[in-house]
Structures are given as C-alpha cells and as structure tokens.
Amino acid sequence: MNRVINQTEGTSKDILMILIGGIHGNELSGLKAIENVFKFLEEDNITVNGKLVGIAGNLQAIETKKRFIDYDLNRCWKPDKINEVFNKEESELKNEDLELRALFNLIDSYLEEEYEHTFIIDLHATSSDNGNFVIHSGIPTNNSSVLKALKLPIVINLDEYIEGTLLKYYNIPGVTSFAFEGGQIGSEKTIEIHTYGIWEFLYQCGLIPEQHSLGRILHYEELVRSIHNHNPDMLRVLYRHPVEPKDYFRMKPGFESFQPVTKGELLAVDKKGEIKAPLDGQVFMPLYQNTGEDGFFIVEEVLDHSH
C-alpha cells in the first residue's frame, strides 16, 4: 500500500481536505472508505472545488493488522516527540518513528499549498459497538461548525485526557481537524458510515456540488438514523480510566458508548479487583481489545451555545 492512496484536485484553492485512514493499523474501515469515495468521484466524473487527498496512517501496522508496533501513532503528536524523531540518525529510526516522520512531512507539504481552509479528518473505529462520534478539540466555531453536518455527537475536550493525538496537533488557524469514529472494528456498517459520512461532508463544506450527491446524502441520513436515537449533540469528558497491559483490565461485557451509568456501578475488573463508575454520566469508548491505554471514559452532555 502507498502512503498516498489517491488524490484529486480542481483549479480552486478554496478547500483542501486530507483524509487519513489506518493511523491505527487494525482499523481498516477508513482506508476502504477512502477508496470508495475516490471511486464515486471517478464514476460521477466530478471535479472537486479544491483538493482531496486520501492517505494511509501507519503502513507497517496496517500490514500486520495491529493497532501499532512499538508505540501508538495517535499519541505521539507532540512537539518534543516530533523533534526527537527528526533529530535521530536515519539508521536509528524504526517502526513508528518512520511512520511519524513520513506522515508529518507529507501533511506539511500539503499544508504549504495554502488553501483557504483545510480539513484534516482522521478516520477511526472502536472496539465496542455503536461507537459513532466526532472528536474535536473545543466547541466547533466558524469554519469548523460544518462538522455538525455529520449529525453525530461531538466530544469536545478529549485532549485534556489523552495527549499526542493528531487531531489536537493540527488544531491550528486555517485548519479544522477532527477524528471521525465510524463504529465497530471489522463491521461493514462502519465502512458505510465512513464512506457516506465523508461524502456528506464533501458536499457540506462545498468540495462537491449537490446535484451529484443527493442519493448518497440521503443514504447517510438513513444510516445515522439507524445507529442512534437519543444521542446528545455535544459531550465533554469527566473521567478517564487509564490502563496498562500489566493491569489485565477487562471491561464487563455489554457496554457501549453513551450508555448511562451511575456512580458505583460495576464496569470492569482488573488484577486488583472490581472497577466501579466513580461518578454518574455516560460511559464512552469502553475498551474491548487487548491493546490500548484507555479502559473507559465517562462523559456528560453539554449545552451548545454556539448557535
């Protein structure tokens, strides 16, 4: 697989959109969705109003279908870590060092093309069921408010709890960057939600004209209606339960994102015993795979005053 999966551009310098799939190598739905979206553009013979790029995140991890090899490629986007990697000798670089360097250089080269506005969409899937949401750093305003078009809950402060995400690193003027969680790893529906969600977003931000997309946009609306019935618009994280491999953390079966929990409710066990909810709220991103540093989060709804 090439780092650049596909790209297409028109003559306009209005919008640059960078889609990233497989920054976690076991989450392949984003990569398939990127291929689908470029196939649609080709079938319909659409010239985009700017530039659309689809790139692959952690090539070596994708190869082995693992979340990562040495370290998580979505926890290392910090200036000191990036400097460290760029200051190393070429021969010392291995696995994620190489991925981070290549991805940084590639994104940097696109950002230098100076489009009016840039969107960076990092496509993920989760180990639990019904994990459809958007992660953005802060309440979306101005150019970023278009991400509400995805009609999914937006989590606004996850970066206060986990460091080094790509979406936070590119939260800079002129760029809207967010993670788009499509659903459960390995599910066909996750690929559909990513594919048609990207399509909806292409239309909403003006990268493609409406007349080419109505059927697909309606299909996305159907998909969203089928996955959530009472999800709030916006949420903030109240609590994170960190885990390490030596903890032998195991989530109790049956939890999914946004499921209400009450203080004291049994959520998981590890080698020290039972883990109970420390406060009332909604469980978020419960961990049902054996790699990952976040056991679960607890979130609460926030009122959106931006519109």
Choices 16-24, 50-58, 87-95, 196-204 (CB under 5 A): range interacting with Zn ion: 16-24
Whole-angstrom Cα distance, residue 206 to residue 200? Answer: 10
Neighbours of 82 (CB within 10 A): 16
Distances 269 to 32, 213, 281, 294 between C-alpha atoms, Å: 35, 47, 19, 14
Do 24 and 181 contact (CB within 8 A), yes or no? no
Question: For Zn ion, which stretch binds (CB under 5 A), given 95-103, 116-124, 158-166, 186-194?
Answer: 116-124
Which of 231, 208, 214 has its CA nearest to residue 148? 231
Among 51, 117, 124, 212, binds Zn ion (CB under 5 A): 124
DSSP per residue, 232-262:
-SEEEEEEEEE--GGG--EEPTT--TTEEE-
Binding mask 74-113 for Zn ion (x = CB under 5 A): ----------------------------------------
250-279 residues in contact with Zn ion (CB under 5 A) are none
Stretch that binds Zn ion, among 20-28, 56-64, 110-118, 160-168 (CB under 5 A): 20-28
User: Minimal distance in Å, beta carbon 271 to Zn ion?
Assistant: 26
Least CB distance from residue 281 to Zn ion, whole Å? 22
User: Binding-site residue total for Zn ion (CB under 5 A)?
Assistant: 3
Q: With CA atoms as reference, report the closest residue to 44 among 222, 218, 189, 203.
A: 203
Min CB(24)–Zn ion separation in Å: 4
Look at residue 89 and give its three-state secondary structure. coil
| Under rule CB under 5 A, residue 24 binds Zn ion | yes
Q: Which residues bind Zn ion (CB under 5 A)?
A: 24, 27, 124
